[in-house]
């Protein structure tokens, strides 16, 4: 499987220059300014994604018990596994807003449905921003009406969903199927703070022109989410609004892809590539962050354990602070591993930072601390853990913890 994926990725997976969520066939998007967001120079804060053909759709949602109104509405609308449009805003989370918040989310869906000529139940809704503030629908209604949809509008949509992000997150890749057809997967995401997803803050939207079987849509998205968005952490807080939605319209003309087939492996590879790129971009753009933290765990008993261990390490505030200070205090990695809940035996564990061995079979190894500190001053800091207990592996991503994070979040609403 791993060898096949490596060969397939090298020969058939292609990154699309300037790619975004509207790169796959049949998807259009656009955005406008409703006055919900006051930060940033390029003010767009309400956007629409629309498929010119019917879509299968699946979503994963935050496990936070407090769920924002748009998530509740989207869950209702996607029960039949179909959706054709998305309306999303930034600057207001529409969370903890009671029945009026749910009514506002439903109205946003209805306004979008009327604009593009589909049923209200075919529209997913998403919001991000400040919690506990009523949605100013008197501003949102005319903004939705002003949105112009186009193939190039994916870039506008990517800009419309950001809050404290410092850059947009968007990508598209193409992959060849067994019949020679090329299918495309494109995606956008936002997130910089309140990032510790359990899905399934963080919004992710992915579109593909591949035809997928209904069961495979959910299976593929779950696998991609587990290896990407669910293994990143900026600050340990799980949002009320986290969700990732996949739309598949089948306009590539391929036979529907079913689980367990070579085409399913090819599509999964492309979907994972999109989601991992977006997830890493979110971790890299963590509020106030100056370095990306990457932790790879090998030799775990299960993939679930490997993910749990890797995510436990990147979530450690103590390690994040050490990475910011370029302090090779590797004991914090072991502390976080032991606290992660993953099966491990200290006497079997090896630890590396880059190429430098810090611990072997549970014993500390001599290393040049000054050189190690200098190696931590780049844009990325990587640790590799070898548990030497099994065959499973996983990678997780986070960022350092800086004074700027505190500054941003000490004045978020003031």
Residues acting as catalytic residues: 201
Residue with the two structure tokens 């087939």 = 261
Sign of CA dihedral 201, 234, 65, 217: positive
- Strand arrangement, sheet containing 182-190: 14-15, 169-176, 182-190, 203-208, 243-248, 56-61
| Secondary structure (3-state) at 150 | strand
Burial class (CB in 10 A: 0-12, 13-18, 19+), 19: buried
Spatial distance between the Cα atoms of 139 and 205, rounded to a whole number of angstroms: 24
Confirm if 195 and 409 have CB atoms less than 8 A apart.
no
Spatial distance between the Cα atoms of 185 and 175, rounded to a whole number of angstroms: 8
Total Cβ atoms within 10 A of residue 361: 13
Spatial distance between the Cα atoms of 33 and 155, rounded to a whole number of angstroms: 14
Q: How many CA atoms lie within 13 A of 392 on its CB side?
A: 17
């Amino acid at each position: 499987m791993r060898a096949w994926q490596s060969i397939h990725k090298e020969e058939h997976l292609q990154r699309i220059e300037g790619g975004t969520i509207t790169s796959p066939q049949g998807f259009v998007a656009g955005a406008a300014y409703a006055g919900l967001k006051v930060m940033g120079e390029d003010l767009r804060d309400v956007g629409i994604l629309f498929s010119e053909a019917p879509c299968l759709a699946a979503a994963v949602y935050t496990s936070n018990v407090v769920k924002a109104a748009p998530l509740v509405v989207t869950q209702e609308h996607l029960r039949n596994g179909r959706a054709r449009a998305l309306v999303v805003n930034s600057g207001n989370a529409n969370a903890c807003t009671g029945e009026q918040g749910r009514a506002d989310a439903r109205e946003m869906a209805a306004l979008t449905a009327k604009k593009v000529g589909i049923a209200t139940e075919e529209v997913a809704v998403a919001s991000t921003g400040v919690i506990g503030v009523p949605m100013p629908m008197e501003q949102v209604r005319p903004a939705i009406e002003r949105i112009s949809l186009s193939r190039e509008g994916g870039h506008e949509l990517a800009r419309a969903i950001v809050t404290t992000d410092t850059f947009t997150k968007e990508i598209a890749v193409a992959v060849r199927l067994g019949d020679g057809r090329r299918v495309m997967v494109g995606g956008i995401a936002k997130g910089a703070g309140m990032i510790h997803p359990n899905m399934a803050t963080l919004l992710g939207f992915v579109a593909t022109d591949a035809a997928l079987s209904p069961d495979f849509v959910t299976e593929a998205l779950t696998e991609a989410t587990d290896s990407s968005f669910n293994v990143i952490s900026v600050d340990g807080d799980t949002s009320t609004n986290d969700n990732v939605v996949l739309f598949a319209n089948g306009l590539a003309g391929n036979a529907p892809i079913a689980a367990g087939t070579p085409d399913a492996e090819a599509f999964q590879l492309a979907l994972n590539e999109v989601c991992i790129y977006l997830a890493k971009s979110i971790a890299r753009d963590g509020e106030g962050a100056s370095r990306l933290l990457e932790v790879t765990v090998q030799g775990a008993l299960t993939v679930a354990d490997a993910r749990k261990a890797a995510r436990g390490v990147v979530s450690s505030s103590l390690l994040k602070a050490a990475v910011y200070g370029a302090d090779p205090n590797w004991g914090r990695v072991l502390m976080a591993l032991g606290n992660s809940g993953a099966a491990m035996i200290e006497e079997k564990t090896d630890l590396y930072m880059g190429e430098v061995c810090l611990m072997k079979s549970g014993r500390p190894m001599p290393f040049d601390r000054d050189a190690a500190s200098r190696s931590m001053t780049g844009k990325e800091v990587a640790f590799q853990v070898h548990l030497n207990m099994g065959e499973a592996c996983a990678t997780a991503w986070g960022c350092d913890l800086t004074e700027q994070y505190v500054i941003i979040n000490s004045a978020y609403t003031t």
